[in-house]
Amino acid sequence: MTNDIARPAASSRSLSYEEMLRDKSLSEKQRDALVAEMLVAYMSVLLVRRGDAATARLMLQVERWMLEWDDQGREKDLILEVDPANKSHFTNDLIEKLKGFCQEVSNRFNLDVNWVWVRETLPVVGPGWRELVQRELHGERPTNQARRLQPAPQRWLEDNLAFTNEGEQRVYRLLKHRQESVLPAEETIAIFPLPNGRIAQRTWEPDFLVTYKGRAGILEIDGPHHNARRALDVTREHLMRDSGIAYVDRVPVETLESRVELERVIDRFLRRLAEAR
């Protein structure tokens, strides 16, 4: 991120945001940047822990954040900047939800920030803008789907596909290895990372949709608070199967750090997908 925050020395990197704000040497600009980042961080973590994974994923698409004075100059608002391709996902209802979370965190820490606005980022453009427009007109832009949420440029990209974290990219690489180097070309898999879609009663973005031997399967990566959402996940899995998904499996977050364990999970998923009826 480009936010201007005075970071503590290496020995103090474990400080919380609240502790960092006690630094009397912070300028007003540095404090505002720190408060904005603190609000985004707390809001995102609370969304995950309260089971709202869909909105938490949207928060990962926020590219920049800052505090700015409102039109009357009375108080500072939290501004979230997102890629133009993502702006339509931040509906008025969702912004109202984010405003409630922002106010909750702000009140707990006496930050006096009570309003949230979402706007499009401006691209970095120079004298070569004509070439940039030509490239984008020809589709040279990372996208998983026509209206796929786009990550910031510094995040995880591979094969012109976008991922929201390193774990997703790691799973993708092992799936791709099986696609290109393990399975026969006439009987391989197709991999669709983070496709937006609709099943009965809800819009949803699974981590991976994989097709194999005439069947479609879903592979999800469990977060650290998965157990608290187990009932919701079971209900969603039933809806997926009712919608024609042959098999659903999960990657425990702990296995992401072990290639051997992750390969076992992926091979089990493909084997059971092939056998699904």
CA dist 277 and 270 (Å) reads 13
Q: Average pLDDT over the chain, rounded to whole?
A: 83
CA dist 250 and 221 (Å) reads 6
Same domain, 169 and 220: yes
Report, as an integer, the average pLDDT of 16-35: 88
Q: Considering Cα of 55, then 48, then 249, then 156, what sign does the dihedral take?
A: positive
Asked whether 253 and 223 are in contact (CB, 8 A), the reply is: yes
Question: Confidence class of residue 40 from pLDDT cuts 50, 70 and 90?
Answer: very high
pLDDT digits (tens, 9 = 90+) for 92-150: 999 999 999 999 999 999 999 999 999 998 877 888 888 878 877 776 555 554 444 44
Residue 212 lies in a domain: yes
Q: Is 201 left (phi over 0), alpha (psi -120 to 50) or beta?
A: left
Residue 3 lies in a domain: no
Same domain, 74 and 167: no
Residue 139 lies in a domain: no
Residue 142 lies in a domain: no
CA dist 80 and 87 (Å) reads 10
pTM of the model: 0.48
- Interacting residues of 77 by C-beta distance below 8 A, sequence separation 6+: 67, 68, 69, 70, 113, 114, 115, 116, 117
Residue 6 lies in a domain: no
Structure tokens at 100: 């409630």
Asked whether 217 and 276 are in contact (CB, 8 A), the reply is: yes
CATH number at residue 41: 3.30.300
What per-residue confidence (pLDDT) applies to 225? 40
Same domain, 22 and 78: yes
In eight-state DSSP terms, residue 78 is E
Amino acid at 178: R
Residue 10 lies in a domain: no
Is residue 153 pLDDT above 60, yes or no? no
Same domain, 177 and 252: yes
In eight-state DSSP terms, residue 244 is T
Question: Confidence class of residue 13 from pLDDT cuts 50, 70 and 90?
Answer: very low
Is residue 266 pLDDT above 60, yes or no? yes
What per-residue confidence (pLDDT) applies to 229? 45
Same domain, 166 and 227: yes
CATH number at residue 235: 3.40.960
Residue 209 lies in a domain: yes
Same domain, 113 and 207: no
Find the helix or strand (DSSP H, E) in which 108 lies.
Answer: helix 92-109
Q: Nearest to residue 101, comparing CAs of 48, 62, 64, 34?
A: 48
Same domain, 173 and 88: no
Same domain, 179 and 269: yes
Residue 61 lies in a domain: yes
CA distances to 8, 102, 228, 241 from 39, rounded to whole Å, are: 19, 6, 24, 38
What is the number of structural domains in the chain?
2
End-to-end CA distance of the chain: 47
What per-residue confidence (pLDDT) applies to 112? 93
By residue range, what is the domain housing residue 39? 16-120
What are residue 111's DSSP bridge partners? none
Report, as an integer, the average pLDDT of 11-29: 78
pLDDT digits (tens, 9 = 90+) for 158-170: 887 878 788 899 9
DSSP string, 27-51: -HHHHHHHHHHHHHHHHHHHHHHTT
Domain boundary among 76, 105, 120: 120
CA dist 225 and 50 (Å) reads 9
